[in-house]
Structure 1
Amino acid sequence: MRPVDHPGAVAESPAPVGASPARHAFTALGLAAGPVVALGFTRFAYALLLPVMHERLHWSYAQAGGMNTANALGYIIGAATAAVWARRLGNRAAFLWGLAVSALSLCATAATANFPALLALRFVGGFTTAVAFVVGSVLASRVATGAGRGRAALPVAIYMAGVGAGVVISGLVVPAALSAGQDAGWRLGWLLMGLASVAALLPAWLGARAVAEPTGPHAALLTAGQVRRLAPTLAWYVLFGAGYVSYMTFAVALLRSQGLGSSIVAVFFVVLGAASAVATLTVWGHLAGRLRGGHAPALVAALVFLGVLPVLIMTPGPAAALLSAVVFGASFMAGPTAATVIARRMLPAHGWTAGIALLTVAFSLGQAVGPLLSGLLSDSQGGIARGLWLSAGLLVLAAVAALFQREHSPS
């Protein structure tokens, strides 16, 4: 499990520290097109399409959750092999090819109602978006290499804010597609997101080309000691992934079952995405870089837990939905931000890709199990709310696990 060097590797050639903060921000904005596609479209937009697909295609909630499980399984394999693809193709090529295939899988999802085919497409989309997201996180981490903690964390936060932007876009596009397309509205929704993903390749390419390819040694895997030191964060990320994605998968279905109309549901999704983008940029980019050890991950899990509660304990209605959207949205994408910052801070530069990949595998394991368990509980007596209580419990456990993380030197 020791680092393996590229043949003929020379000294590390990081991105220039002297570049202006504005240039760093523009580079990170281009890279942020990756999370727009990888998570905003490929993963989270499914929550908007799930109720209609559940009804039109006569699925059980377990089948609906299984779609996200297939996506998460692909994500696990993609994350586990991201370092390999980055070594073989280079960071830029792995990032861009991952996004290109993701865009094609979204377009293809519109072309079939066959359950096994849709499972396969969700799996492929999960695989390619994981590669793109992990490698894109590494590129974002390299934008301000050598800068202080706060300045170095800001490009990561800008990158992660792309998820919120993707959620906002899907919250505007999908309801319109469902309304315009009638029975075939879910197909139109997938197609429009696929075409938007194709358009996102240009800014992603511009961002990626502005970051220097690393020329030094790259670890294929972390050492056993490095894994042990990150163990609390790995445990936190499994529990956090299971908890938050269960909410993201079934929250819209819960609101629909509570009698909220499509317009309120669309507003809920847009507010959630906007809160995510704004908070990630204005709060978490600075906070995650300053909190020590596992304090940032613990705070994130606690706030996401509070964001789940309004739709479970308050009187059903727009107020509960929007409060949940604001609190949950403002904190859920701080999880990947905090994880990336921890990897960057506690691992040597040649281990960043392997470290972020390992953390993403842990995250994906939780995301694979969470929706399936939540869907099974939602099919039982108690309905969707019972499944979301599982989400809340897992987030509490995640916050506790994170507190065991201690600060470690990259060496």
Structure 2
Amino acid sequence: MTAISAEGRTSRAGQALVALGLAAGPVVALGFTRFAYALLLPPMHRELHWSYAQAGGMNTANALGYILGAASAAFWARRSGGRSAFLWSLAISAVALLATAATADLTVLLALRFAGGFSTAVAFVVGSALVSRIAVGAPQRRSASLVAVYMAGVGIGVVISGLVVPAALSSGEAGWRMGWLLMGVLAVIALVPAWLGARAVPEASGAHASTLPAAQLRRLGPTFVWYVLFGAGYVSYMTFVVALLRSQGLGASTTALFFVVLGLSSVVATLTVWGRLCGFLRAGLAPALVAVLVFLGVLPVLLMPPGPGAALLSAVVFGAGFMAGPTAATVIARRMLPHAVWTAGIALLTVAFSVGQAVGPLLSGLMSDGEGGIARGLWLSAGLLALAALAALLQREHPAS
């Protein structure tokens, strides 16, 4: 990939290739480290004799690490440069995935989930800032489309997980270990396109802040509230939906198909719809629309008769919206904040997202351990997403200044 000039004169195709290379970050950060756990949870829950609260605690540990990683991402980017911070954090994420395959100790697994959350947050935030710099000065819709290409990496990671993890689980009792091992190997391979993409983006020039001024923080207040609620609602579903489907009698092949369809739906919608829509809609309309769509995606597995039809409908609707949240947040930060605080703004929004992701699975897991089972925990997910939509509507448009 050729380097991008400061004036952003690289061809549209070249810019898209750079964004696709950077998309290896979300493939690892969310597709592997975060969401593959949903497929691995049922056998780990069964073979390691966990409660649902312990299972949710694994994702909470990951989210706590994600909070600290997101909060410090701007610092690491400023200290070592965006490209180095992006690549080193991805390398650490790959090591954490590989190490997860080597132990069954809950404490060690929690520590590895925490470390993986920290490193992937740095990669995701810094990668978001890098992709925002591919086309500085280009029309807003063009930049939003490149952000969408980057975010499509999550769906790509989900598809890969849905194909690879079930094959690993078929290997026997140690299948969950093989699943983590394969995710780690693929994360190492993903470093190649990540490096190619990162080296094509110039380092930021001029003074770049590692914190967001209070006035700019306040103007994005409703977006921060939306992102906390959205993070809590969507990740609770992603953590426990496969366990719900398995408890309803769906087999491994159906749940794997569910995961693949969800990922494909995310890729297609992110690339064809959300990049343009988030660039076109102003204020909090795009985040509100995202939350409503994801809310609707939760309902089929709760209201329809259990079966493949309900599962696949949920996968299509939920998948079409869930990664539009980070797309919308990144576009809002780029549009409403000065260039000098893009990384800091994206980092703080990701912290808000991570707070929700830390609290959501734990609360959902506690509710799932009680009367009503996993479905009760997923109703919490739906309620949080509805509140997120209402919060987003309070956001007003503020031009960057």
Partner of 2:167: 176
Following superposition, the deviation at residue 14 of structure 1 comes to 7.2
Q: Whole-Å Cα distance in 2 between the matches of residues 376 and 52 of structure 1?
A: 19
CA deviations over 1:301-354 (Å, ceiling 9, x no partner): 000000000000000000000000000001000000000000000000000000
Following superposition, the deviation at residue 48 of structure 1 comes to 0.1
Q: Return the match for 2:260 from 270, 278, 283.
A: 270
Q: Return the match for 1:297 from 284, 287, 293.
A: 287
Q: Return the match for 1:110 from 92, 98, 101.
A: 101
Asked if 1:53 is matched to 2:44, the reply is yes
SS in 2 for 1:217: coil
Following superposition, the deviation at residue 149 of structure 1 comes to 1.1
Equivalent AA in structure 1 for residue 170 of structure 2: S
Q: Is the 8 A contact 1:14 1:145 kept in 2?
A: no
Asked if 1:199 is matched to 2:189, the reply is yes
Runs of 4+ in 1 over 2 A off after TM superposition: 13-17
Q: Return the match for 2:134 from 115, 127, 143.
A: 143
Q: Whole-Å Cα distance in 2 between the matches of residues 323 and 402 of structure 1?
A: 25
CA RMSD across the alignment: 0.8
Gaps of 5+ in 1: 1-12
Gaps of 5+ in 2: none
TM-score normalised by L of structure 1: 0.96
SS in 1 for 2:50: coil
Partner of 1:343: 333
Partner of 1:121: 112
Q: Whole-Å Cα distance in 2 between the matches of residues 394 and 402 of structure 1?
A: 12
Partner of 1:384: 374
Equivalent AA in structure 2 for residue 77 of structure 1: L
Equivalent AA in structure 2 for residue 279 of structure 1: A
Q: Whole-Å Cα distance in 2 between the matches of residues 231 and 79 of structure 1?
A: 18
Aligned length: 398
Asked if 1:360 is matched to 2:359, the reply is no
Partner of 1:6: none
- Residue identity (%): 76
Q: Whole-Å Cα distance in 2 between the matches of residues 268 and 145 of structure 1?
A: 38
SS in 2 for 1:43: coil
Q: Whole-Å Cα distance in 1 between the matches of residues 220 and 175 of structure 2?
A: 44
Q: Return the match for 1:227 from 183, 204, 217.
A: 217
TM-score normalised by L of structure 2: 0.99
Asked if 1:321 is matched to 2:307, the reply is no
Equivalent AA in structure 1 for residue 120 of structure 2: T
Q: Whole-Å Cα distance in 1 between the matches of residues 145 and 169 of structure 2?
A: 36
Q: Return the match for 2:242 from 252, 265, 279.
A: 252
Following superposition, the deviation at residue 17 of structure 1 comes to 2.3
Equivalent AA in structure 2 for residue 313 of structure 1: L
Following superposition, the deviation at residue 16 of structure 1 comes to 3.0
Q: Whole-Å Cα distance in 1 between the matches of residues 134 and 103 of structure 2?
A: 40
